[in-house]
């Protein structure tokens, strides 16, 4: 009954376009929406089955990921390009990659022919996004690409000129029954763009997980690179709630003065200036206010770094004894700071 009530709230008459539609009834309007949404859902289900069961699609996906990862670890970047709606997908995927800490850039095919080809570097990888696999503007780029530049094609038509000429193909292949012309008679991009975008999103998350294995670290990075909006606010709230008790009074390890083991008295005093702690030879820790007049005397009362108790960055230390000193550390080789009981 509630659905019928909603339908009755839709105006029975809509402004007449130049060419009147076949029907303007509320039911017809909703039927069109349901048809499109169902088609999108079926397209994604088809892709899921394709990637789950087709060995060639799987191999091409893995090769594509390896090419992109190799570019990133050798100081290169992922450059995405496409024309029209595919260009919008390139923009979206590039933005997602950057928000995940993946170095990416977008390149408009027409601008590329007027100077922007300079964005491409030998260590980069180029991802061409094209539903047809035969976009003229992308074909025009081919003779001018840097020699040896790896090329990946994200396409609904793997067996196409651009698909066959690429080092790897990210398949968004759909059966004819799920293409736009078969669904509603007009090839306006809907299911094809959804398919390409979904595969592209899968690439972004896959790369992110390979580059940063720990989920907590990925969450931290994403929050750091996305400080604005609701996502940024949520991250700040989570960070604040997870903040350990000692963080406000912890002395970060980067703020600890550091000198070599054979440092003379003057070097130690210089390292202590304006600091609370000094570490000598990465083995002895001194309170800068208690150094006294002689660096030798200070060395005699220094605290052995290896002998200090260590706590994790999220451990509770509210019951730490007065004056007790602990090191805040991720592990034995990764000290974050010093905390002294109050």
Segment 144-196, tens digit of pLDDT: 999 999 999 999 999 999 999 999 999 999 999 999 999 989 999 999 999 99
pLDDT reported for residue 47: 98
- Rounded Cα distance between 257 and 285, Å, is 10
Residue 90 pLDDT class (50, 70, 90 cuts): very high
- Higher-confidence residue of 113 and 251: namely 113
- Higher-confidence residue of 9 and 107: namely 107
CATH 3.10.580.10 fits 247-340, yes or no: yes
| Mean pLDDT (whole number) for 288-303 | 57
pLDDT reported for residue 248: 47
User: Any idea what DSSP says for residue 228?
Assistant: S
For 175-180, the CB contacts below 8 A with 24+ separation are 175/46, 178/39, 178/42, 178/43, 178/46
Order of all β-strands in the sheet with 334-340: 251-252, 334-340, 325-331, 309-311
Averaged pLDDT of the chain: 82
User: Any idea what DSSP says for residue 302?
Assistant: P
Does residue 226 carry a pLDDT above 60? Answer: yes
- Rounded Cα distance between 162 and 278, Å, is 61
Does residue 202 carry a pLDDT above 80? Answer: yes
- Rounded Cα distance between 5 and 164, Å, is 53
pLDDT reported for residue 1: 42
The structural domains of the chain, with segments of one domain joined by +, span 8-211, 247-340
Contact between residue 336 and residue 326 where contact means Cβ atoms under 8 Å apart: no
pLDDT reported for residue 309: 76
pLDDT reported for residue 116: 96
Task: Please give the span between the terminal C-alpha atoms of the chain, in angstroms, as a whole number.
Answer: 66
pLDDT reported for residue 10: 44
- Higher-confidence residue of 194 and 293: namely 194
pLDDT reported for residue 263: 79
pLDDT reported for residue 283: 80
**Bridging pattern class, strands 168-171 and 125-130:** unpaired
Most confident of 61-75, 206-220, 324-338: 61-75
- 139 sits in which H/E element: helix 136-141
Residue 275 pLDDT class (50, 70, 90 cuts): confident
Does residue 314 carry a pLDDT above 70? Answer: no
Q: Which residues contact 14 (CB under 8 A, 6 or more apart)?
A: 24
- Higher-confidence residue of 98 and 296: namely 98
Residue 2 pLDDT class (50, 70, 90 cuts): very low
- Higher-confidence residue of 87 and 294: namely 87
Does residue 243 carry a pLDDT above 60? Answer: no
pLDDT reported for residue 254: 80
Q: DSSP readout, 28-54?
A: HHHHHHHHHHHHHHHHHHHHHHHHHH-
Q: Among 108-117, 125-134, 252-261, which is the least confidently predicted range?
A: 252-261
- Rounded Cα distance between 156 and 316, Å, is 54
Residue 341 pLDDT class (50, 70, 90 cuts): low
Does residue 31 carry a pLDDT above 80? Answer: yes
- Rounded Cα distance between 340 and 304, Å, is 15
Contact between residue 207 and residue 100 where contact means Cβ atoms under 8 Å apart: yes
pLDDT reported for residue 246: 47
pLDDT reported for residue 320: 60
pLDDT reported for residue 298: 47
Residue 255 pLDDT class (50, 70, 90 cuts): confident
Q: May I ask the CATH architecture of the domain 8-211?
A: 3-Layer(aba) Sandwich (3.40)
- Rounded Cα distance between 158 and 82, Å, is 16
Contact between residue 226 and residue 232 where contact means Cβ atoms under 8 Å apart: yes
| Mean pLDDT (whole number) for 257-283 | 79
pLDDT reported for residue 273: 73
Residue 271 pLDDT class (50, 70, 90 cuts): confident
């Amino acid at each position: 009954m509630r659905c019928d009530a909603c339908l009755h709230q839709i105006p029975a008459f809509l402004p007449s376009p130049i060419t009147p539609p076949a029907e303007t009834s509320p039911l017809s309007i909703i039927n069109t929406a349901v048809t499109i949404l169902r088609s999108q859902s079926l397209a994604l289900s088809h892709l899921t089955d394709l990637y789950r069961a087709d060995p060639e699609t799987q191999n091409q996906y893995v090769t594509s990921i390896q090419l992109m990862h190799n570019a990133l670890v050798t100081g290169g970047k992922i450059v995405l390009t496409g024309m029209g709606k595919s260009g919008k997908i390139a923009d979206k995927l590039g933005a997602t990659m950057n928000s995940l800490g993946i170095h990416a850039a977008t390149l408009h095919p027409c601008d590329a022919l007027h100077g922007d080809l300079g964005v491409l570097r030998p260590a980069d990888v180029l991802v061409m996004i094209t539903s047809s696999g035969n976009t003229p503007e992308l074909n025009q780029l081919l003779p001018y690409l840097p020699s040896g530049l790896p090329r990946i094609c994200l396409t609904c038509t793997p067996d196409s000129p651009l698909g066959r000429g690429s080092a790897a193909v990210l398949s968004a292949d759909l059966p004819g029954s799920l293409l736009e012309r078969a669904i509603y008679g007009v090839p306006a991009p809907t299911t094809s763009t959804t398919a390409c975008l979904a595969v592209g999103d899968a690439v972004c998350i896959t790369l992110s997980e390979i580059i940063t294995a720990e989920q907590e670290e990925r969450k931290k990075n994403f929050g750091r690179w996305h400080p604005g909006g609701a996502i940024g606010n949520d991250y700040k709230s989570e960070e604040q709630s997870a903040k350990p008790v000692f963080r406000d009074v912890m002395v970060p390890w980067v703020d600890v003065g550091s000198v070599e083991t054979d440092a003379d008295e003057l070097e130690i005093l210089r390292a202590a200036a304006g600091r609370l702690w000094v570490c000598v030879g990465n083995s002895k820790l001194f309170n800068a206010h208690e150094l006294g007049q002689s660096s030798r005397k200070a060395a005699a009362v220094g605290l052995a770094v290896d002998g200090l108790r260590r706590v994790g960055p999220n451990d509770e230390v509210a019951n730490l004894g007065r004056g007790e000193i602990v090191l805040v550390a991720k592990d034995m080789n990764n000290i974050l700071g010093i905390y002294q009981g109050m």
